[in-house]
Amino acid sequence: MSSTAAPPRAGVAKARRRDARIGYAFLSPWLIGFFFLTAGPMVASLVLSFTDYNIFRAPKFIGIDNFTALFSDPRFFQAWRVTLMYVVIAAPLKLFAALLVAQLLALPYKGQGVFRSVFYAPSLIAASVSIALVWRAMFVDDGIVSRVSGLLGLPTEGWVGNPDMTMPMFVLLAIWAFGGPMVIFLAGIKQIPQELYEAADVDGASGFSKWWNITLPMLSPTIFFNSLLEIIHSFMVFGSAFIISNGTGGPAGSTLFYTLYLYQRAFTDLKMGYASAMAWVFFVVIGVLTVIYFRASKAWVFYGDQK
């Protein structure tokens, strides 16, 4: 008669401790990066937001003066106005373009891979400095856009120096880079069961009815994910605004995005305490909006047959 002896309890505990050490060893690069590159600077920024600090002198504690000063700063509100306008206009239009193209790319035809690559490629380089320089060269006076406008009999003034046209210029740049959300939409569309469309065909549903009652609800988690990312990403626009406006936020403050103004206060005016207060206000506002968006999603995002 044979029997299998249970492993000694001490041996099991030793194996678990060994597995835990291995796990922490694999996690250590991320943990080091998180504590030294994310959590540490955030704590330092929070402390500096209560100080008067300009790099060359030791920080001087001034309480909440930096936060109260924000509400008497007209450029602070101008930065919020420009940023919110960009978020409200650019994010929905970019998502609409991404969803529209994803629907077309989901149709069966030859050369799908080529078209997907062509539409996705701009999103890989849109945030680069080189593209911002190209965009600026296209929209300055006597640039290609003003020349084409002249051929069509439209005003030939460059968009870069026109406060009324700078926002459309940035929105076009955002829409042009719709490849990232397009790929996610395309993956979401491919996951929708075809049986639902076949059942709708049996019932004689029209194409729009199938899109409205099947595609849109089944795609709602993907729409929520994409829209959340794009809203947060739109709040953080900086590189293109810095390059196109030469770091000034002009003309007439029309490109003074919040992150650009924060940069100006920190690295041009050397108001590190003030800039830290701006950063924390920015962080709290985006955090609150994210929580509200998550709660609102319960009304329109469907997971299977549940909201």
**Tokens found for residue 304:** 């299977």
Superfamily in which the 65-298 domain is placed by CATH: MetI-like (1.10.3720.10)
pLDDT of residue 128: 79
* 178 in Cβ contact with 91 (< 8 Å): no
* 124 in Cβ contact with 178 (< 8 Å): no
| Three-state secondary structure of 239-279 | HHHHHHCCCCCCCCCCCCCHHHHHHHHHHHCCCHHHHHHHH
In the block, residue with structure tokens 């996705």: 120
Q: Is the pTM of this model over 0.85?
A: yes
The three-point CA angle 86-131-269 to 5° equals 60
- Tell which wins on pLDDT, 92 or 127: 92
Percentage with pLDDT > 70 across the chain:
96
pLDDT at 117 over 60: yes
Of the candidates 220, 238, 230, the one whose C-alpha atom is nearest the C-alpha of residue 123 is 230
Domain boundaries, the chain: 10-52, 65-298
Query: Which residues have CB under 8 Å from 75's CB, separation 6+?
Result: 253, 256, 261
Give 230-252 pLDDT, tens digit per residue: 999 999 999 999 999 999 998 99
- Mean pLDDT for the stretch of residues 82-92: 97
- Tell which wins on pLDDT, 125 or 206: 206
Type of residue at 154: L
pLDDT at 6 over 80: no
What is the overall mean pLDDT for the chain?
90
pLDDT at 1 over 70: no
At how many degrees (to 10) do helices 179-190 and 74-105 cross?
40
Query: Which of 60-64, 82-86, 110-114, 132-136 is the least confident region?
Result: 110-114
- Mean pLDDT for the stretch of residues 74-91: 96
* 220 in Cβ contact with 300 (< 8 Å): yes
pLDDT at 115 over 80: yes
The three-point CA angle 278-254-155 to 5° equals 165
